[in-house]
Structure 1
Amino acid sequence: MADSSRIGCLYVDACTDEQATAYDWCQEAVDGAERCALSSVEPTEYDVLWWHRDELFDERALADAPALAAYVRDGGTLLLTLSALPAVEPLGFEEVAPDATGWEEVPEPTGHLWQALYDDHPIHADYDTLRVHTRGAGVTIPYARYESIAPRSGDVLASTIRGDTDVVKQMAILSWEPGDGQVLGIGSSVAFAQPTHDVCQGNRETLIENALAFLAADERHPLTGRPKNVDTFGQLRERLDDDPSRPSYHVTPPANWLNDPNGLIHWNGRYHLFYQYNPAGPFHNTIHWGHAVSDDLVHWEDRPVALTPSPDGPDRDGCWSGCAVDNAGVPTVLYTGGRDKRQLPCIATAADDDLTAWDKDPDNPIIEELPAEPEVLRTEDWEGEFRDHCVWRENETWHQLIGAGIEGGGGAALLYESADLRNWEYQGPILAGDRDTAGTVWECPELLDFGDRQLLHISNYEDVVYFLGTYEDGEFDVDRRDKLDHGDFYAPQSMWTDDGRILTWGWLPEARDVSGQWDAGWSGAMSLPRELSLADDGGLCQRPAPELTELRGDNTSYDVVRLDAGDTEQLPVESRSFELRATVRLEDAEAVELSVLESPDGEERTPIRYSYESEIAVDRSASSTDPQATGDTQTMRVRPYDAPLSLRVFVDGSVVEVFANERHCLTSRVYPTREDATGISLSAEDGHATIASLDVWELDSVW
């Protein structure tokens, strides 16, 4: 840090021992540093103001510092550490104050877990790891963090590391850019008074020195500042472009966390895909609604965040899953708002035709009480497991399904009716089930009408189960039950297109641990859009949307590939982004194996095995040498083996999406580590097999 920087070290009344130790260090490190009382400081005399505080924050401490907020907004810079971090809220820089403050014992080395997006931030410049310990064990220290909620206006630069454990929801280092100024907050693990390990001490001093130097230079990191605009989303994508595990033709978030698809609607000729999104990092917390749009289902564009939790509203803790409807020409979304231990339905209407801005109803929530019968499941987290919405109109009446868990076991899809989308009357469950499974919740229910028959699907924490049957007079009569997808696929939602098709997307959750997702800087992808219909025999058909053929590039084609027992046919294609289509006949073979993402020596490979037992299995045991990745095998049943198998396989970074006979789907997430894990091969076991009409296409990015 330049010795000429002028640092004002703030205190109230008199310095505590902790403040004195920190400020003594600063005055030794910087010639231009001096202590100054909040009541008398002239902010414009300094390049940076640093407020380090160990006493619990008291808003009255700011009563004598009216010029501080104006100084920052006019271009000043401020560093807030430990218990001074909550000052961002009364100073007007942030609407949501840190929700976790106090003193904590530190039984193991503790520090900061840096986000991959900000690993080049100047205050992190002297570290070669995302995990930096700044406080040794055996002390009790003050802290202020965001934990159950995230800041509305600030960027989360780092969370917390405790020993070797990543604690991603303890958000500790943050950045704000109010007006023309800049604020950095470091809420934990930078106490100075107690002695600590030399390495931790050096890391702590480097962090604070870098923070002061960064603020004194009035720099800006290109990815900080909220709300993010479309250009910034583009920069986020560019930052992650080099990740070979990141899908290129499946919809992903610009960065950070994505889960359920929400509010799907075909509006004014454009496909709108909203989704559960956490802008604070690649983990689930304080959910917003992200937004992507497409004119053709082939090329997608990011749009600004559509729904943001309201600090004073019933959705303060998250704008959770919901759906969109056309209400007399007004796009309207119904979603679950979460606050404290309550999760209740809320409504918002579009403020523009681009669906980029939404007006929340001031009377939210629109349903304030849980139904009495059946009794809704209570858990440690929620007064009632009651969430997610499917809404449709029939005979001038609006109908709404809400997912729920039931006390004593099982889940249910609960029906409400309304004339105006705001006043709802409870009708009862249209279907309940899984009574033998305690703690089950039927999430994200959706009812789809195919004319003579209807389909209801629910997500029960593990699987997406669908029921085919008939729905009439508030009851669903089931005649068939199966899984919509047999792999890493959850919480799907559908839209009716203008040409009358039903298109469905599902969330593809990660199959690697929290640390793997953190290091990547992103989590979650959408499935390909699937066109749903009923076959002549009444069964469900699932096909990739036909528009996706526009992504096809270079083609490798075979009329017939004949495989003998033990043969391996290596295809002349090396790719992590392709579509493979083939018709497989086992003849007298026990199985045919299609291996994708294969390294030349076979150390990494993902076999897709079709056997005479009428089963398709995706074996992930050798998919990755990364211990953070899941290695189990996923399976699904298909039609009898003596009939040809129509197979379409889409490989996209870490996604393997399998469609069999246009009816069965299995999606897997895999994470090869080797650059040369790009091969494709075919083989037969214990007999002869025929692969007909084999095509492999390279696929382009949708972004």
Structure 2
Amino acid sequence: MYYQETLRPQIHFTPKENWINDPNGLVYYEGEYHLFYQRNPNGNKHADMHWGHAVSTDLYHWKELGTALEPDQLGTIFSGSAVVDKHNTSGLFKEETGGLVAIFTHDNHGEQQQSIAYSEDKGRTWVKYEGNPVIPNTTIKDFRDPKVAWHADSKQWVMVLACGDHIQFFGSPNLIDWTHLSSFGKEYPSDGGVWECPDLIHLPVEGTDQKEWVLIVSINPGGPNGGSAVYYFTGSFDGKEFHPNEAATDPLKWADEGRDFYAAVTWDNTDDTYWIGWMNNWDYANDVPVSPWRSAMSLVRKISLQPDGGNYLLKQEPVIVSEPVQVRSESSLTIKPGEKAAYDVTLPGTIDIQLSQPAKQWGFQLVSDQGEVFKLEINQTNNSYTFYRTEGQQDFSDKFASEITGSLNGLDIQKITAIFDHCSFELFANDGVVVSTNLMYPSGAITAVELYTEEAEVEVEQLSMNELPTIWK
């Protein structure tokens, strides 16, 4: 039965069958959150790109719909975005209350142009604009992934477009006629990777009444642990140019230093800001050992900024609206070096750990009924974490097995939430200021979690384990 296969995620969106990658066209409209996505309806590898479509009323349960956009004489349908044209600025709608407009890349054997389509029935059917492309091809090879939003201060639609090793900004009064505004990023290192799937968002800063502009960039290759990853800049945007807080010589700020969070973009037309990423990595995406589907989306995350000295850190909180079933709760737990606190676990589930005080080196591991171990280790002394993905199925790619490391951002880690599905592990430390998303493919079923410490006793103030309900019911 669909959605019940071995390793099929139960709390992450997957299609019934075939390939998906980047989330596209994220928009909230008339009670529905729309998730469009790159889709090959004819096979299990990246090819023949269409837009697939799913909807949700709560960002947790999803209903898969049919194909939204199909290839045509201008090419296949690459990534893009969607907006609510509330005042019919485009003039495409019969009613002045407007409707949905999708902005996407047409790809014709590597020649890339930007086009639009519109829908008057809540995204179920789409009409492509007869004057496509609205931004014709340039001499830039990688010219794609338009992300559009209304910029109130300058009273225009603003497009962020990926252009190989930099970003270009365009402005439009009507989603049809576009003017180049500025370029950003050529001075920043790309390490041979291509910039993709940008986003420009205005995020609240926790504990204040201010907001800060954030520019999101996905890069492949060039991630901190190899392959694909997402980083971000904070700064200001004046309707024409983005001015970063970070100098070109500063270290890159990664949104997620795990191996499997890519092409993340935000929903349009929401009060709070939510985003979702493709849970895979181009190093091995075409070969991961799942069928009849291939690839999943991350959990949806509510995002904001947390002050960090004179700058800001991205904060991500997973959206889980269904009531979890608590399977264990303990308080005042002491773990001694050389000992393990072991518990049965049911997937999909979570483990929440609150320490009484930071510990130098400690962690926990998931263990399968085949003896496979997937371990997370926190090393406060080195300001780092490591996720050990060296066991389980890995013969499908020589780039999969790895020890995945990331920064603790100089924070004392006292609180951890880990969310695990049948083939994934998502870490949210200190309420989501440190995040790591990683696939794993056990040969057996994960049945236990074990806490341990390396050097000194760990005082756990509170531990809780929960089972999460499937999103398919």
Q: What's the counterpart of residue 144 of structure 2? A: 387
The answer on whether the counterparts of 2:167 and 2:185 sit within 8 Å (CA) in structure 1 is yes
1:684 and 2:450 matched:
no
TM-superposed CA distance for 1:448, in Å, is 0.5
Matches within 5 A, 1:172-183: none
The answer on whether the counterparts of 2:347 and 2:468 sit within 8 Å (CA) in structure 1 is no
Question: Please, what TM-score do these two structures have when normalized by structure 1?
Answer: 0.59
CA distance in 2 between counterparts of 1:515 and 1:436 reads 24
Q: What's the counterpart of residue 69 of structure 2? A: 307
CA distance in 1 between counterparts of 2:453 and 2:461 reads 14
The structure 2 residue matched to 1:265, chosen from 27, 31, 42, is: 27
TM-superposed CA distance for 1:392, in Å, is 1.9
The answer on whether the counterparts of 2:279 and 2:295 sit within 8 Å (CA) in structure 1 is yes
Q: What's the counterpart of residue 54 of structure 1? A: none
Q: What's the counterpart of residue 166 of structure 1? A: none
**CA deviation vs aligned residue, 1:304-324 (integer Å, no higher than 9, x gap):** 1111112xx212xx2110001
TM-superposed CA distance for 1:639, in Å, is 4.7
The answer on whether the counterparts of 1:264 and 1:323 sit within 8 Å (CA) in structure 2 is yes
TM-superposed CA distance for 1:330, in Å, is 1.6
CA distance in 1 between counterparts of 2:404 and 2:238 reads 36
CA distance in 1 between counterparts of 2:189 and 2:383 reads 30
1:476 and 2:242 matched:
yes
1:504 and 2:257 matched:
no
TM-superposed CA distance for 1:576, in Å, is 2.7
SS of 1:306's partner is: coil
Matches within 5 A, 1:262-661: 262-310=24-72, 313-315=73-75, 318-327=76-85, 328=87, 329-353=98-122, 355-370=123-138, 376=140, 384-394=141-151, 395-405=154-164, 411-435=165-189, 437-438=191-192, 440-450=193-203, 452-461=211-220, 462-480=228-246, 481-487=252-258, 488-496=260-268, 498=270, 500-509=271-280, 513=284, 516-517=287-288, 520-537=291-308, 539-546=312-319, 548-571=320-343, 573-584=344-355, 590-596=360-366, 598-599=367-368, 603-612=371-380, 613-622=382-391, 624-628=392-396, 630-640=400-410, 643-661=412-430
Highest CA radius of gyration, 1 or 2?
A: 1
CA distance in 2 between counterparts of 1:519 and 1:296 reads 27
User: How many pairs are equivalent?
Assistant: 434
Evaluate the alpha carbon distance shift between residue 458 and residue 433 of structure 1 in structure 2; reply closer, same or farther with a 3 A threshold: farther
Q: Which moved more, 1:483-492 or 1:684-693?
A: 684-693
CA distance in 2 between counterparts of 1:526 and 1:568 reads 33
CA distance in 2 between counterparts of 1:447 and 1:256 reads 31
More strand by share: 2
**CA deviation vs aligned residue, 1:568-618 (integer Å, no higher than 9, x gap):** 0101x232310111123566x54112101x0357x3010010112221111
The answer on whether the counterparts of 2:394 and 2:401 sit within 8 Å (CA) in structure 1 is no
Question: Which residue identity is paired with 2:131?
Answer: D
Of all paired residues, the percent bearing the same amino acid is 27
SS of 1:307's partner is: coil
| Alignment root-mean-square deviation, CA | 2.2
Question: Which residue identity is paired with 1:540?
Answer: L
The answer on whether the counterparts of 2:51 and 2:69 sit within 8 Å (CA) in structure 1 is yes
The structure 2 residue matched to 1:695, chosen from 435, 452, 464, is: 464
Question: Which residue identity is paired with 1:430?
Answer: F
The answer on whether the counterparts of 2:17 and 2:291 sit within 8 Å (CA) in structure 1 is no
Question: Please, what TM-score do these two structures have when normalized by structure 2?
Answer: 0.86
Evaluate the alpha carbon distance shift between residue 322 and residue 578 of structure 1 in structure 2; reply closer, same or farther with a 3 A threshold: same
Evaluate the alpha carbon distance shift between residue 477 and residue 576 of structure 1 in structure 2; reply closer, same or farther with a 3 A threshold: same
The answer on whether the counterparts of 1:555 and 1:697 sit within 8 Å (CA) in structure 2 is yes
CA distance in 2 between counterparts of 1:699 and 1:398 reads 39
TM-superposed CA distance for 1:468, in Å, is 0.9
Q: What's the counterpart of residue 163 of structure 1? A: none
TM-superposed CA distance for 1:348, in Å, is 0.2
The answer on whether the counterparts of 1:452 and 1:470 sit within 8 Å (CA) in structure 2 is no
Question: Post-superposition, which runs of at least 4 consecutive aligned residues in structure 1 deviate over 6 A?
Answer: none
Question: Which residue identity is paired with 1:323?
Answer: S
The answer on whether the counterparts of 1:528 and 1:544 sit within 8 Å (CA) in structure 2 is no
Question: Which residue identity is paired with 1:466?
Answer: Y
SS of 1:520's partner is: coil
TM-superposed CA distance for 1:289, in Å, is 1.0
Unaligned segments of structure 1, at least 5 residues? 1-237, 377-383, 406-410
Matches within 5 A, 1:178-193: none
Flag the structure with more relative contact order, 1 or 2, with Cα contacts below 8 A and sequence separation at least 6.
Answer: 2
Question: Which residue identity is paired with 2:452?
Answer: S
The answer on whether the counterparts of 2:58 and 2:321 sit within 8 Å (CA) in structure 1 is no
TM-superposed CA distance for 1:453, in Å, is 1.6
Evaluate the alpha carbon distance shift between residue 515 and residue 491 of structure 1 in structure 2; reply closer, same or farther with a 3 A threshold: closer
The answer on whether the counterparts of 2:45 and 2:286 sit within 8 Å (CA) in structure 1 is no
Question: Which residue identity is paired with 2:384?
Answer: E
TM-superposed CA distance for 1:341, in Å, is 3.1
More helix by share: 1
TM-superposed CA distance for 1:420, in Å, is 1.6
**CA deviation vs aligned residue, 1:454-486 (integer Å, no higher than 9, x gap):** 100111113211001112252222224400111
Q: What's the counterpart of residue 206 of structure 2? A: none
The answer on whether the counterparts of 2:60 and 2:300 sit within 8 Å (CA) in structure 1 is no
TM-superposed CA distance for 1:437, in Å, is 3.1
